[in-house]
Amino acid sequence: MFAALPEEIHELGRAFEAAGHELALVGGPVRDAVLGRSSADLDFTTSARPEQTEAILRSWNRGGGLWDMGREFGTLGAARGDLRVEVTTYRTESYDPTSRKPQVVYGDTLAGDLSRRDFTVNAMAVRLPSLELVDPFDGLADLAAQVLRTPVAPEQSFDDDPLRMMRAVRFVSQLGFAIEEGTAEAIRALADRLAIVSAERIREELVKLLLGAHPRAGLTGMVELGLAPQVLPELPALQLEIDEHHHHKDVYEHSLTVLDQAIALESAPGSGGPCERPDLVLRLAALLHDIGKPATRRFEAGGVVTFRHHDVVGAKMTAKRMKALAFDRDTTKQVARLVELHLRFHGYADSAWTDSAVRRYVTDAGPLLQHLHRLTRADVTTRNKRKARGLARAYDELEARIDELAQQEEIGRIRPDLDGNEIMEILGLAPGREVGEAYRHLLELRMEHGPLGRERAEAELKAWWEAR
């Protein structure tokens, strides 16, 4: 299987060998090749020091790109045509108890380098150019058993790099593997040590987990192993709450089910459709949509439990948590907005909306309308089949009305019939607060009545101005 590597890779192996250095393909690409999967990453490890690696790469890539942002950690990258490789000097690394950054020390042997890898399934290498498989920790056996186990004692491995504990649950999501019990016990014991790892590195692992094939299993692992309080404390907090709409399950289980159902509603990869799989914004919104419930739980007369305004509270909590995890502003804004809007449809299910209400629904969702459609449908987890069918019919009707109005008017981007310049010209105003007030008045009329036409809009504007 490794003989099928591009000829340029075999050439690279011969170049390192000719210079008196070892080179081996390592980690994920080896694992994926054994599993019959393709890997976009080609990661190598070498006995050469960075300055020696650089000289070989510059000769090999024939003037192609070379980058050394990872030189501090012994890593250099190069490109030759469409082929990109990263080569890292044999190394060991560990964390100072008070530091968020790994300390790197170069090593001398391939076996020593492999021993510092996170899991045995990633601690296999293929020497180049000989194509000899090196598997000192029985990674092949663990691959066959679909088990995650550390090459060295798990306590040592996780103490050296606490982020490996998050990688464990990330691989549960991506590969569908189970965590070996001794490894799981070490995570439970050392979960608090994750606090020294930077938010950016934790976020990267969380995103990979959420985009994996089995995110529910990964998230469940986070909670059961005690990692969630360090990463997403709002998630285990949901286990304490009973959902007033779904008495048969707590909000935690409900949220995971909504995530599963939202994923099922994603568009096929490569389809070009909305919410193409995997969709991070949709998955985050599905997971977090009810995190405001613990803060808003109230016990009413007759034993009724309510969570009033948990949508608004949850949106604020979502933004705060995502900011703490160093998510970008745009993703944070989108997810928080979906959380805020996720209950809006329930008013429609009780009684059909006016055209004005439908316009507001579309306008408030904006470019997130397709995400909101999917989140709302996914949020139905009742076991009452009759109720579920009724909600589905109601949402079918709402989507049909949105489509109908879209054919009649530009419902997706509603604007007043007059723009700011026209308002100033008609009323003889200079730019200022009053122009904004007039604009908002006309927008409100447009929402309520649909397109007015220029003549009626001008008359309404003048009437509003005179009444002030």
| Maximum alpha-carbon separation in the chain | 89
Contacts of 308 (CB under 8 A, 6+ apart): 296, 298
Q: Look up tokens 């949508």; give the residue.
A: 311
**Mean pLDDT in consecutive groups of 10 residues from the start of the chain, 468 residues:** 85 97 95 85 94 96 87 92 93 62 80 94 97 97 97 94 97 97 98 96 98 98 98 93 53 96 96 95 98 91 87 98 98 98 85 85 92 96 88 90 81 80 90 89 83 87 87
Identify the sign of the CA torsion 184, 190, 192, 197. Answer: negative
CATH superfamily of 2-138: Beta Polymerase, domain 2 (3.30.460.10)
pLDDT given at position 246:
47
N- to C-terminal Cα separation, the chain: 79
Which architecture does CATH list for 146-231?
A: Orthogonal Bundle (1.10)
The Cα–Cα gap between 106 and 123 comes to 17
Cα 165 to Cα 98, 105, 156, 172, 202: the distances in Å are 18, 22, 12, 11, 10
Tell me the C-alpha distance between 441 and 291, whole Å: 35
- Cα 147 to Cα 128: distance, rounded to the nearest angstrom: 27
**Helix/strand/coil (H, E, C) string of the chain?**
CHHHCCHHHHHHHHHHHHCCCCEEEECHHHHHHHCCCCCCCCEEEECCCHHHHHHHHHHHCCCCCEECCCHHHCEEEEEECCEEEEEEECEEEEECCCCCCEEEEECCCHHHHHHCCCCHHHCCEEEECCCCEECCCCHHHHHHHCEECCCCCHHHHHHHCCHHHHHHHHHHHHHCCEECHHHHHHHHHHHHHHHHCCHHHHHHHHHHHHCCCCHHHHHHHHHHCCCHHHHCCHHHHHHHCECCCCCCCEHHHHHHHHHHHHHHCCECCCCCCCCECCCHHHHHHHHHCCCCHHHHCEECHHHCEECCCHHHHHHHHHHHHHHHCCCCHHHHHHHHHHHHHCCCCHHHHHCCCCHHHHHHHHHHHHHHHHHHHHHHHHCCCCCCHHHHHHHHHHHHHHHHHHHHHHHHCCHHHCCCCCCHHHHHHHHCCCCCHHHHHHHHHHHHHHHHHCCCCHHHHHHHHHHHHHHC
Classify 235-413 by CATH class. Answer: mainly alpha
What pLDDT sits at residue 248? 43
CA 233 – CA 228 distance, rounded (Å): 5
Q: pTM for this one?
A: 0.85
Instruction: Tell which residue, 244, 377, 368, 342, has the closest CA to residue 298.
Output: 244
Distance CA 444, CA 262 (A): 33
- CA distance readout (Å), 305 to 241, 256, 342, 350: 10, 21, 19, 20
Q: For the chain, which residues make up each domain, given as ranges?
A: 2-138, 146-231, 235-413, 420-467
CA distance 46 to 255: 45
Tokens of 252: 């935690």
Task: Report which of 285, 287, 149 is spatially closest to residue 215, judged by C-alpha positions.
Answer: 287
Q: What length does the chain have?
A: 468
Q: What is the dihedral of CA 321, 327, 329, 335, to 10 degrees?
A: -60
Question: How many of the other CB atoms lie within 10 Å of CB of 338?
Answer: 26
* Cis amide leading into 136 (omega within 30): no
Going by C-beta distance under 8 Å and a sequence separation of 6 or more, which residues neighbour residue 272? Answer: none
